[in-house]
Copies of this chain bind each other. A is one copy, B any other.
Amino acid sequence: MNYAVIGTGAIGGFYGVLLQHAGFNVHFLLHNDFEQVKTKGLKVESVDKGDISLSNVNPYSRVQDMPYCDVVIVSLKTYHNELLKDLIPEICKDDTIVILLQNGLGMEAELRELLPKNIIIGGMCFICSNKVGPGHIKHLDYGSVTLGEYAGETQAAGITRNLEKVVAEFKTAGIDAQMSENLMKSRWIKLMWNMPFNGLSVVLRATTDEIMGNPYTRELAESIMREVNTAAAYCGITIEEEVVDTLLDVTSKMVSYNPSMKLDFEKSSPLETQYIYWNPLNSAYSAGYEMTASKTLARELEFLNQ
């Protein structure tokens, strides 16, 4: 299959380079870095895969110049998702698979309006990588991605043939790709981690181990996790209570970690509040549940987001 990467940054650049390096035909859409990548290519310095320099890549500054692709990987920050209505139709055929490597809730539902019939796959990355220069990505830790096919906000698609096909190609490229038979459950579990730790790391200028190391904020993180769990249940997604303990346990054993929102904040980039906070908050509210602690945090984040 041939691939498009929409948003060639820390995430899309990393996975796209691995795919091309494995022999796949990849087309990269770039904005600021276009000229540099056109002349110098793309480079990944990876903690576990070594240095990969691709001098010969297919860079594009305009989506109109790109070919139709079999798989489109969307790795924009979600605050740019309003661009998708202009980008997606230019590169998607009827049978194009779109993979959203993004954080939060509601991206797939919005894309479904744009593409009523295409296969949509959601992806949750567990990776620590940064763009350190134009076309230059540093991969620091982790790297796995969990993919699941979208079948609506409460339905589980199961393990589909298309999902298996994509995951197989990702694995060929050396990517630690996992399958989820229930994308929305995976999305909500990711939110159980993102909603406490992304927000608190920004508001308190803290790393995950600092948050876990203080009894008050450890309790706060746990109570926000339980709030997200309850919200998911109101929205028709059942997540076992023990997942909270597992996530806390994993987090307390992780190295000192800066969540993506903290990195954005430190770069004075916008924060992904709409998809990580307001979409789940609004979904839960519509279903009859008020996420008071999460909403408090979201409102504080909006103050800092200005």
Shortest beta-carbon distance, A136 to chain B, in Å?
34
Shortest beta-carbon distance, A116 to chain B, in Å?
34
Q: Which of B210, B217, B302, B306 contacts A300 (CB 8 A)?
A: B217
Residues of B within 8 A of A220 (CB): 296, 299-300
Q: Which of B210, B293, B303 contacts A217 (CB 8 A)?
A: B303
CB pair B299 A296 closer than 8 Å: no
Interface pick from A14-22, A95-103, A144-152, A199-207: A199-207
Main secondary structure of the interface of A (DSSP, over half): helix
CB pair B300 A204 closer than 8 Å: yes
CB pair A217 B299 closer than 8 Å: yes
Q: Can you list 16 A-B contacts with CB-CB less than 8 angstroms, sorted by A residue number?
A: A203-B203, A203-B204, A206-B303, A210-B303, A214-B302, A214-B303, A216-B300, A216-B303, A217-B300, A217-B302, A217-B303, A220-B296, A292-B293, A293-B295, A296-B296, A296-B297
Chain A residues close to B by CB (< 8 Å): 200, 203-204, 206, 210-211, 214, 216-217, 219-220, 292-293, 295-300, 302-304, 306
